[in-house]
Amino acid sequence: MHAWLCSDPSGVDALEWKEQATPQPGPGQVLLELKAASLNFPDLLIVQNKYQMKPPLPFVPGSEYAGVVRALGEGVQHLQIGQAVACLTGTGGFATHTLAPAERCLPLPPGFPMEDAAAFIMTYATSYHALIDRAQLKAGETVLVLGAAGGVGTAAIQIAKAQGARVIAAASSEDKLALCKKIGADIGINYATQDLRETIKAATEGKGPDVIYDPVGGDLAEPAFRSIAWRGRYLVVGFAASPTIPALPMNLPLLKGASLVGVFWGDFARREPQANAAMMQALAQWYAQGKVKPVIDRVLPMKDLKQAYALMGSRQVKGKLVLAN
Ligand SMILES: NC(=O)c1ccc[n+]([C@@H]2O[C@H](COP(=O)([O-])OP(=O)(O)OC[C@H]3O[C@@H](n4cnc5c(N)ncnc54)[C@H](OP(=O)(O)O)[C@@H]3O)[C@@H](O)[C@H]2O)c1
């Protein structure tokens, strides 16, 4: 097997594509032949030692992937050799093979595309948990999605539309906004060229969005919060814009009767596994009905991982990047 090894977490340049002995699964594990893996923002941080989880060195990055079960460890009951699965484990995906805990493998229905399977769990689960669970989004409400053309942003647009909401997509280029409209956004705001507060006001007849979905942070957070509707819910999803965490004057939630709502899907899944499983089932149903589908910018060969990292790091990705074997 081959894998991208991170022995020195100083950045992407230090990653090495190396041949290794194919491991045998231990108790509760399966060996997967990987077909596809997708890039998520934490993959960018983990190889720079900037992510909250710091795996022992050396490790293989790649948090989310899909493949075929090739060997079963002792005690694995619910999977079979030859079965296609999707998996999110934090590491291991940027390779030709990996060992995965069987309990983390989601069996895929026959014919489910491997690229979609590798690009689904993290972004759709995060955006569903954020909008439907944490914000209690209702049909007819207006949602503003910041960083709307990114991985979690595109998932948020589709989920908000599936829930019957009106969606204002905000992003940094006309190209990105065109994609957001193609997948369902009603209105686009280019925050690189337009005044965020003025355009939000015009798009909502002065009322403001009921829900704001923010995976970006930075200088956008305060003007966005100042624009929120009465009883609005501001979803704190991530801080893609900067290492500095934005701060908010505490009078702002008071003035709007609004809530600042934290979103941490990974811990939600660990603390509330049954609620998470029910949510994944609801998402699988929406996928089968064609209401949600990963937006895949492009599929690159696994060997081109460094190019994929460069595209994501320079804000050039629309939707998700997938690496395929
Ligand atoms: N809370 C949770 O449970 C959870 C779960 C998953 C992900 N997240 C977080 O959500 C954020 C987005 O993740 P993602 O996978 O959707 O990433 P992504 O695909 O790279 O999207 C991030 C978007 O942020 C915008 N952005 C603004 N400034 C940026 C900068 N300096 N560098 C990079 N992007 C910048 C870009 O859009 P424009 O160019 O249009 O501004 C980009 O499309 C990350 O912070 C991630 O850690 C949180």
**Same-domain pairing of 39 and 96:** yes
pLDDT of residue 29: 98
**Same-domain pairing of 217 and 185:** yes
Give the number of the atom of ligand 1 that is nearest the alpha carbon of residue 39.
15
pLDDT of residue 111: 87
Distance from Cα 74 to the centre of ligand 1, integer Å: 39
Is it true that the peptide bond before 58 is cis, omega within 30 degrees of 0? yes
Mutate to test the pocket of ligand 1, among 51, 157, 213, 216 (most ligand atoms within 8 A of CB): 216
**Same-domain pairing of 97 and 202:** no
**Same-domain pairing of 249 and 320:** no
CATH number for 181: 3.40.50.720
pLDDT of residue 242: 79
- Phi then psi for residue 189, to 5 deg, are -125, 125
* Contact indicator for 37, 64 with CB cutoff of 8 Å: yes
Residue 298 lies inside a defined structural domain of this protein: yes
Cβ-proximal residues to 297 (8 Å cutoff; 6+ apart), any chain:
311, 317, 318, 319, 320, 321
Atom 13, ligand 1: residue with shortest CA distance: 41
Side chain identity at residue 278, one-letter code: A
**Same-domain pairing of 204 and 243:** yes
Residues touching ligand 1 (Cβ under 6 Å) are 40-42, 122, 126, 147, 149-153, 171-172, 176, 215-216, 237-241, 263-266, 312, 315, 317
Distance from Cα 176 to the centre of ligand 1, integer Å: 13
Residue 111 lies inside a defined structural domain of this protein: yes
218 SS3 class: helix
Rg for the chain, CA atoms, rounded: 20
* Contact indicator for 145, 137 with CB cutoff of 8 Å: no
**Same-domain pairing of 111 and 208:** no
pLDDT of residue 75: 97
Q: Which of 46, 60, 65, 180 is nearest to 120 (CA)?
A: 65
pLDDT of residue 217: 97
**Same-domain pairing of 152 and 101:** no
- For residues 246 and 263, what is the distance between their CA atoms, to the nearest angstrom? 15
Residue 270 lies inside a defined structural domain of this protein: no
Residue 36 lies inside a defined structural domain of this protein: yes
**Same-domain pairing of 222 and 94:** no
Give the number of the atom of ligand 1 that is nearest the alpha carbon of residue 152.
16
- Phi then psi for residue 224, to 5 deg, are -65, -45
CATH number for 36: 3.90.180.10
Residue 281 lies inside a defined structural domain of this protein: no
pLDDT of residue 116: 98
- Its domain, for residue 20, covers 2-119+294-324
pLDDT of residue 243: 79
Distance from Cα 111 to the centre of ligand 1, integer Å: 30
Residue 185 lies inside a defined structural domain of this protein: yes
Give the number of the atom of ligand 1 that is nearest the alpha carbon of residue 172.
40
Atom 12, ligand 1: residue with shortest CA distance: 215
Domain boundary residue among 248, 265, 282? 265
**Same-domain pairing of 76 and 163:** no
87 SS3 class: strand
**Same-domain pairing of 95 and 24:** yes
Residues of the chain with pLDDT under 50: none
Domain boundary residue among 245, 265, 285? 265
**Same-domain pairing of 307 and 235:** no
pLDDT of residue 84: 98
**Same-domain pairing of 129 and 86:** no
Question: Within a 10 A sphere around the Cβ of 50, how many other Cβ atoms?
Answer: 13
* Contact indicator for 279, 133 with CB cutoff of 8 Å: yes
- Please classify residue 221 by burial: count the beta carbons closer than 10 Å to its beta carbon, then call 0-12 exposed, 13-18 middle and 19+ buried: buried
Q: How many domains does the chain have?
A: 2
Residue 271 lies inside a defined structural domain of this protein: no
Residue 258 lies inside a defined structural domain of this protein: yes
